[in-house]
Amino acid sequence: MAPAPIDASLRKSSLAFAAALVLCCAHLAHAAETAEPAAAPTKSLPEQIVDTLDVLSSGPHAGYRANHAKGVVVTGHFVPSRSARSLTVAPQFQSQKVPVIVRFSDTTGVPNIPDANSNASPHGIAIRFELPKGVNTDIVSLSTNGFPAATPEEFAALLSAIAATHADTPKPTPIEQFLGAHPKALAFVKMPKPAPVSFANLTFYGLNAFKFTNQAGTTRYGRYRIIPLAGDKRLSEEQAKGMPPNYLMDELPARLAKGPVKFRLAVQLAEPGDPLNDGTEVWPDERKQIELGTLVLEKAVPDSAAQEKQLAFNPLLLTDGIAPSDDPVLQFRPIVYAVSYGRRVGK
């Protein structure tokens, strides 16, 4: 199916859609308690979420991700730092250079969203480390330091409130009610998210914590940070308005043709008492960071559209030395991503 016209796809804009775009999700289960034994089976929460993402993007858009539909794929390699070994035995962080494939993206399921549109932020980065013997491991992060919901159910409620809010909905609207009762989500919606100059000028945050184990068996919890060597640089609102719709997707390959684009990969370490299972809780910025190494992006792939269709990133595709925290959002992501993947490849 061809992408919907942009004005139709974005007609839900405004606070509501913006909130949602955050990235995803779900519907409250008005799927229903009914006494009728013959009622249609209730869809699972991940299925409901993908359905709601489709509604919010005037989709489904066949062949595209239900969220982060618009993206660009590039390749390069990762060079580990010595300090990485003090944190973890994970093979991608030892002494060898590792090839990577990376996809940058705009939020929403709208395949032709203008890159500078406020709903395109937070932007995404998905990094796949391609280790020997066909072993892969992924990092999947966003360009906001914070997430609007602590659980999949809360995120579902947020998106449900967005979907139920229309221009003529009486006040207080469902989204106003939701944000009034969820200060962290309100703070997220209000957080400035200026459009970047380039994907090479964005900082990305892992948000969900992981447990890292080193050779001595010492464990530390931490969150990834991906920091652009070219600096975090943003456009003014006025500049953003004048940008071509694909300026981010087009600029990265042009920049790579002139030379590599580099990011530092670091882990922000938790201190005792820092919440380990809640992406709405931002840890203080002065927490110690361990350098894991440098991400060196070298080439745009010539067939980005074909590549991104078959790529399926998974934040729980992990190697020894890194384990998930019990953050319920982290645990949920692979399931909802698999639903989106299954639908976009027609499984």
Q: Which residues are catalytic?
A: 68
- Applying the rule CB under 6 A, the residues between 71 and 90 that interact with ligand HEM are 71
Q: Of 67, 117, 160, 198, which lies in the binding site for ligand HEM, with binding defined by CB under 6 A?
A: 67
Tell me the two tokens of residue 77.
């390699």
Task: Give burial (CB, 10 Å; 0-12/13-18/19+) of 123.
Answer: buried
Residue 92 binds to ligand HEM (criterion: CB under 6 A): no
Q: Of 279, 293, 321, 334, which lies in the binding site for ligand HEM, with binding defined by CB under 6 A?
A: 279
Contact 86, 72 (CB under 8 A): no
Q: Of 48, 88, 112, 141, which lies in the binding site for ligand HEM, with binding defined by CB under 6 A?
A: 141
Residue 56 binds to ligand HEM (criterion: CB under 6 A): no
Residue 212 binds to ligand HEM (criterion: CB under 6 A): no
Q: Of 113, 126, 150, 297, which lies in the binding site for ligand HEM, with binding defined by CB under 6 A?
A: 126
Residue 70 binds to ligand HEM (criterion: CB under 6 A): no
In degrees, to the nearest 5, what angle opens at C-alpha 331 toward C-alphas 327 and 336? 135
Rounded distance, CA 213 to CA 87, Å?
6
Rounded distance, CA 148 to CA 185, Å?
4
Helix axes 152-163, 45-56, angle to 10 degrees: 30
Contact 208, 329 (CB under 8 A): yes
Which 8-state DSSP code applies to residue 119? Answer: G
Residue 17 binds to ligand HEM (criterion: CB under 6 A): no
Q: Of 61, 65, 128, 193, which lies in the binding site for ligand HEM, with binding defined by CB under 6 A?
A: 65
Contact 34, 167 (CB under 8 A): no
- Applying the rule CB under 6 A, the residues between 153 and 182 that interact with ligand HEM are 155
Residue 300 binds to ligand HEM (criterion: CB under 6 A): no
- Residue 320 phi, psi (nearest 5): -55, 140
Binding part of the chain for ligand HEM, among 60-68, 193-201, 244-252, 265-273 by CB under 6 A, reads 60-68
Residues in the site for ligand HEM, rule: CB under 6 A?
A: 23-25, 49-50, 65-68, 71, 103, 105, 124, 126, 140-142, 147, 152, 155, 206-208, 279, 311-313, 329, 332-333, 336-337, 340-341, 344
